[in-house]
Amino acid sequence: MSEAPLIEFRDVAKVYGEGEARVAALDGVSFTIDTGEFVAIMGPSGSGKSTTMNILGCLDTPSSGEYLFAGIPTTTLERAQLTLLRRHMLGFVFQGFNLLARTSAVENVELPLVYRGMEAAERRQRALAALARVGLSGRADHTPSQLSGGQQQRVAIARAIVTDPAVLLADEPTGNLDTRTSAEIMELVTALNREQGITVIMVTHEPDIAAHARRTIRFVDGRIESDEERAEPAHAL
């Protein structure tokens, strides 16, 4: 086992455009995240948090600096290798759920396993188990239109964890949900982190949602303004 951090940014910069249109989305950002951490990333619009999430998810690359995953510089990986890293090590949860509208919950959850080439029987078994983990055993055959917003997000979380990822990347996971449902979703995400050891990195602009994390990194103008840890998440105090 490597002793390197699970995730490391080394002086990462990301620049878009040239000349007068040049924008530095990230300006020399460095941090590490260890296995099993729950980290919230916060900051105003344009602060660099979304760019950070895109790089963490291997959906974008730094203009300079290094992003290392388990000690391996991702810039040294070929496109096919990055695809495999995303497919096997990362799970994604989005604000808008991103479910296929005419497809059942269990079929939505199966999708990442289809891309792996897994046989149908094993896919179905694992997808049903993932739905059970998020409390939706009785909704496997329902389409998104037959589910509440909170249930749809649970399906999206089941889809993200069906591959047993090392890291769950959540981008404003409660942004489309009411307060009560948001709390239920955060209880689920916290349980996945605490009980199953999944590393969680979550972008949010809501302090009460960030309070579920043990650590908060705040971005301003492409730089880290603060990086604070809590002995216990604020909601548990």
Break the chain into its structural domains and give their ranges: 35-61+79-229
User: Are 210 and 216 spatial neighbours (Cβ–Cβ below 8 Å)?
Assistant: yes
Residues 106-118 pLDDT 10s? 999 999 999 888 9
Q: What is the pLDDT of residue 96?
A: 86
Q: What is the pLDDT of residue 237?
A: 42
d(Cα 234, Cα 213) in Å, to the nearest integer?
A: 8
Superfamily of domain 35-61+79-229: P-loop containing nucleotide triphosphate hydrolases (3.40.50.300)
Compare 236 and 210 and report the one with higher pLDDT. Answer: 210
| Number of Cβ within a 10 Å radius of residue 187 | 12
User: Are 177 and 149 spatial neighbours (Cβ–Cβ below 8 Å)?
Assistant: yes
Work out the angle at residue 185's Cα, subtended by the Cα atoms of residues 193 and 36, and round it to the nearest 5 degrees.
10
Residues 182-203 pLDDT 10s? 999 999 999 999 998 999 999 9
Phi-psi region for residue 165, left (φ > 0), alpha (ψ -120 to 50) or beta? Answer: beta
* β-pair partners for 13: 64
b vs e for 200-226, b when ≥16 Cβ sit within 10 Å of the residue's Cβ? Answer: bbbbbeeeebbbbbbbbbbbeebebee
- Mean pLDDT over 2-15 rounds to 91
pTM: 0.91
Comparing CA positions, the residue from 8, 165, 6 lying closest to residue 75 is 8
